[in-house]
Amino acid sequence: MEPAGVLNYFTESCQDLIELVSDLARFDTPTGDANASIQFIRHYQKLLEEGGVSCRNYVTGSGVHLAGEWPGEKATRSRRAEVTFIVHSDTVWPLGEAARRPPALRDGRLYGPGVYDMRAGLALAVAFFRLLRDRKVETTKKFAIFVSCDEEEGSADAHQYMDREIHRDTVALVLEPPLPDGGLKIFRKGAGIYTLEISGRAAHAGTEPELGVSAIDELAHQILALHTLRNPELGITINIGEVQGGTAPNVIADCVRASIDLRFERIADGEELDQKIRALAAANPHTSLKVTGGIVYPPMVPTRATHLLAEKAKAVAAQLGISLTAGKSGGGSDGSYLSSKGIRTLDGLGVDGGGAHSLDEHIRVDRLPLRAALLGLLALELG
């Protein structure tokens, strides 16, 4: 198809795209909530099937992973997909968030939980298959899609199904949000996710404080120890993002639990820090520590194939009047995992916006047709 024809199609259907993103953002899908995942995938699968995609599900304790194929009018079922869209259904938001903050359009921006990361990317995939259907596109290419339900926590459950479904010869197009300037993500930091559990001894804080051993006090020591491992110059960051523990103000806490997020640029740094986090020692010998978790994403390091894909995308973007850049992101994604497996991967093909994982999360609706056209033309030209 000609670039102008593809762009016109998505420009004319821009309102449908906005409604599609809004529709998907009305679902809550916190990572690990299997029932919420089932409800969302049931709806999303119907949208894909209406576009001619054949789907199969992998139901797990974490939720549902979905794999789908669009064989093309002239393709055989035995052919492997030349392009695979990589998306995820989970968000960082809890149950009830979609009802508390339903999608809202203000000043050219669509706000709502998960619209940027990554309901918009999920919508782009559906829009691509609608393009093939509505314009009766003739192609011998075979396209595929894989939807992880636990990407926000490292896709630990999804990786085994990715290995089964995504072959080495495909090109993986990851529909994660782009860089702030709309650019592609060709380098990503590696990521580790850990849980630190500390046990102490409970006691009355007023009458018998000497009998207690505070797990929260011990956590304070451990947080300071973790902070010494940070090295921004080497791209190493550590964040303690969630803390749960204690029972009441007048009770010395006998247990506390904290989540740790590690980011790194070099795999050697990641492996070294992984060992140090696992080897955390108690400052108070009367407490005990337990560390679980590990590295969930390796760094995504650009290869020659990555640069060639980026140049191809830039050339396609230029046909649409888009000046596309490519750069580095601090976040991990399934693209990091696939790239480490030797699969040609291009990341950051979602929709321009901002505020990922925040109350300001939004996408720019004026960019929806352009990003849909970019993805569509790129997918059709790759092979």
pLDDT tens digits, residue range 238-258?
A: 999 999 999 999 999 999 999
Q: Which residues of 60-77 are buried (b: 16+ CB within 10 A; e: fewer)?
A: bebbbbbbbbbbbeebee
- CA 107 to CA 129: how far, in whole Å? 29
Pick from 338, 353, 316: nearest CA to 88 = 338
pLDDT tens-digit map of 64-109: 999 999 985 555 555 789 999 999 999 999 999 999 999 999 999 9
User: Do the domains 3-188+300-381 and 190-297 sit in the same CATH topology, yes or no?
Assistant: no
| Confidence band of 272 (pLDDT split at 50, 70, 90) | very high
Q: Pairing relation of β-strands 251-252 and 288-297?
A: unpaired
pTM comes to: 0.90
- Kindly report the CATH number that applies to the domain delimited by 190-297: 3.30.70.360
Question: CA angle 241-283-212, nearest 5°?
Answer: 90
Beta strands in 247-374 (DSSP E): 251-252, 255-264, 288-297, 326-329, 344-346, 353-354, 362-364
Report yes or no: 59 and 157 within 8 Å, Cβ to Cβ. Answer: no
Dihedral angle at the C-alpha atoms of 363, 368, 372, 378, nearest 10 degrees?
-70
pLDDT mean over 217-238 = 97
Q: Does the structure show a pLDDT above 90 at 2?
A: yes
Q: What's the pLDDT score for residue 331?
A: 85
**List of residues 6+ apart from 286 with CB closer than 8 A:** 200, 201, 213
Q: What is the pLDDT of residues 154-194, one digit of tens each?
A: 998 999 999 999 999 999 999 999 999 999 999 999 999 99
What average pLDDT score do residues 261-286 get?
97
- Does residue 127 surpass a pLDDT of 90? yes
Class of the CATH-defined domain 3-188+300-381: alpha beta
Tell me how far apart the alpha carbons of residues 258 and 241 are, in angstroms, rounded to a whole number: 7
Domain boundary assignment for the chain: 3-188+300-381, 190-297
